[in-house]
A and B are shown apart, each in its own frame.
Chain A
Amino acid sequence: MSRIAEVFRKLRQNGEKALVGFVTAGDPSVPESIEIIKEMCRSGLDVLELGVPFSDPTADGPVIQRSSGRAIQAGVTMSSVLGMVEKIREFSTVPIVLFSYYNPILAYGAAEFYRDSVRVGADGVLVVDLPPEESDELTDEWGSDLDFIRLVAPTTPVQRMAKIASRATGFIYLVSMTGVTGSGGLDVSAIERVAADLKASCNGLPVCIGFGISTPEQAARLCPIADGVVIGSAFERIMETCPGSGAAAQVAELVSSMKKAMAGAAIG
């Protein structure tokens, strides 16, 4: 059983939901980024999404665009992201999903990316601009040591959901709204309907909901319809407004309060 599957199995057993945290790798620097991740893990983070910075992140809002820009400025490359995974493995067994646009993976090499990701201890990959129609060229020669997290959107028709789910492993990432990351205007009742359709067609694969979720209250409201909640821009916003050593503590605090709110919701 993959590390991701194992985490969701345990959470389910305990009636809990997963807190999935997105962090742009190496923002503002590799050591600071690792420090922040360490604090997040200590505070109860269930799954880490480690964002590979890209120059043209067309699915991301301004907050993650800027964090991606800072990481590139700091010289972060795919090799340094993989190096970070290796470092994180020294202190944590948290499942790590590499979250990337396709071009940095293409430049690194499909086979090389798989080999090195597995070697450093990554557990999954999510390629935001690689729909199932195009993903064979990446995964054709891959083994099964890396889960392939796939996206479902509110615009995805039900038939297509089943098709996507049949090719997904680890969990399915349900995009909560038609918009880029960090957008406002989360409509919980609209996403409830989409989540219900997805649940009916995904063969028990865990479903995590993300995009535009920033408060513990929002996270708690989504718990009844999901196996996990993804938070990204809310963390990046803290790093942006609170540079230096204070960021790690504040991010950790947000992780704790999210987990707490979600635990209450899952029980209730």
Chain B
Amino acid sequence: MKLAESITAGAKSALAKNLLPDETGHFGVYGGRYVAETLMPAIIELDEAYRSICLKANFQAELARLLKDYAGRPTPLFRAARLTKSLGGATIYLKREDLAHTGAHKINNTLGQALLARWMGKSKVIAETGAGQHGVATATAAALFGMECKVFMGREDIARQAPNVQRMKLLGAEVVQVDSGTGTLKDAMNEALRYWVGAVRDTFYIIGSVAGPHPYPAMVRDFQRVIGDEAREQILEAEGSFPGMLIACVGGGSNAMGLFYPFLDLPVEMVGVEAAGHGIKTGKHAVTLGAGSVGVLHGSKSYVLQDECGQIKEAHSVSAGLDYPGVGPEHAWLKDTGRVRYESIKDDQALSAFQMLCSLEGIIPALESSHAVAQAIIEAVRRPPTDIIIVNLSGRGDKDLGIVSEFLPNGN
């Protein structure tokens, strides 16, 4: 218990040192609230509700109970011994968010936001989704609380993530197909925002990543930091020391912020992994931080993929959850300050890592998480076994079997 107490104290001091965003939702020049006036009062109301309600002991106790008894937390921190041995480098641990209820870290955030919605007296929720994991997690929380739920999903993503579409429908959500643009996550978020403009008086928008207008980037991070808080405690118990490195994939960036945030005050190297698709040079990629520039998309200022006239470009990744031309503003800040290093992994590298984890550890990772695993493989071989790397295994890969079998027709 002493350990847990010291960790709580550590996390508190980390919070004190990282008092971002500021009052108006900025991380340096990033973040903010770039939305139409119709939504501003709702966003201000949400910010006030978030600050007051989420600090209440009753709220925290209720959320803690749900995370434990319903979502299955804490998720294990697993030492990937065979993967480690086969690489002959640093010791790799996997934070098993794939074992959380609904199969990904997304449930941490949707339970938090749905609970907040209930405290605010809102009975309808909406969400955007790419891979469908956030949609499923929102539909799940809505079912649990008896709320009406609409999930906006691009045409292309509906086609490539069919199992999750079916899950959402079974959970009682209405899946709204979005045909505009490329029919992916960006377009789903556009449509969710448009719907919200019309329904803002009685509808709570559960954003799935550390993106969107303030307070979403901070709020989603705070609901996801449970990943890092647990990992901090677990690695001390397992190894008696902190890890040398943390690795997580970054689309919008919620699983990465969740893991990184509680470690920001420690001398721990952090690597965020973007999806390089077919390769940055081909233009078919989602390397927003690595190859994008500063712009405003979906309510906040951050890096975006755009042309020289400020038109947003299409992203590309084999993984629907990373197929997004924006990124959370706190990541932009962490990139500029140099606190986090951002790398990118191509489709084929992610698929190789996917196979490796399947065969060596008996774990089928999500294609999103496979990008983090691929980066861990690169980092591990350069380091001695005494170095510890924690990889956030943000989700399970069952949803991706259709895509994987297209690329790996023999199943190997």
Residues in A lying within 8 Å of B, measured CB to CB: 54-61, 65, 72, 77-78, 101-108, 128-131, 133-134, 150-157, 160, 164, 175, 178-180, 183
Contact = CB atoms under 8 A, between A and B. Distances in A.
Contacts, number: 115
Given A65-B180, A129-B35, A134-B32, A155 B198 contact: no
Interface in B296-323: 296-299, 304, 306, 308-312
Given A155-B201, A156-B37, A175-B36, 13 more contacts: A56-B190, A60-B194, A102-B296, A103-B312, A104-B310, A106-B294, A107-B295, A108-B310, A129-B36, A129-B296, A133-B32, A160-B41, A179-B38
A180 B197 contact: yes
Interface in B157-216: 180-181, 186, 190, 193-194, 197-201
B311 A72 contact: yes
21 contacts: A55-B311, A55-B312, A56-B190, A59-B36, A59-B197, A78-B310, A101-B296, A102-B34, A103-B306, A103-B312, A129-B35, A131-B35, A134-B32, A134-B33, A151-B36, A153-B40, A156-B40, A178-B198, A178-B200, A179-B38, A180-B198
Given A103-B310, A106-B295, A129-B296, A58 B201 contact: no
Interface residues of B, number: 36
Which residue, of B194, B298, B304, has the highest number of chain A Cβ atoms within 10 A?
Answer: B194
B329 to A, nearest CB: 13
A130 B34 contact: yes
Contacts of B201: 155, 178
A153 B37 contact: yes
B237 to A, nearest CB: 44
B36 A155 contact: no
A79 B19 CA distance: 40
Interface string B48-63: 0000000000000000
B37 to A, nearest CB: 4
Given A103-B296, A106-B296, A178-B201, A129 B34 contact: yes
Given A131-B40, A153-B37, A160-B41, A58 B312 contact: no
Contacts of A57: 190
Which residue, of B34, B193, B299, has the highest number of chain A Cβ atoms within 10 A?
Answer: B34
Contact of A54 (B24, B40, B311): B311
Contacts of A105: 310
B181 to A, nearest CB: 8
Which residue, of B37, B181, B190, B296, has the highest number of chain A Cβ atoms within 10 A?
Answer: B37
Nearest to B189: A58
Nearest to B41: A155
B295 A180 contact: no
B38 A58 contact: no
Nearest to A76: B309
Contact of A175 (B34, B37, B295): B37
A107 B309 contact: yes
Contacts of B37: 131, 150-153, 155-156, 164, 175
A36 to B, nearest CB: 23
A58 B311 contact: no
Interface string B225-248: 000000000000000000000000
A58 B196 CA distance: 10
B33 A175 contact: no
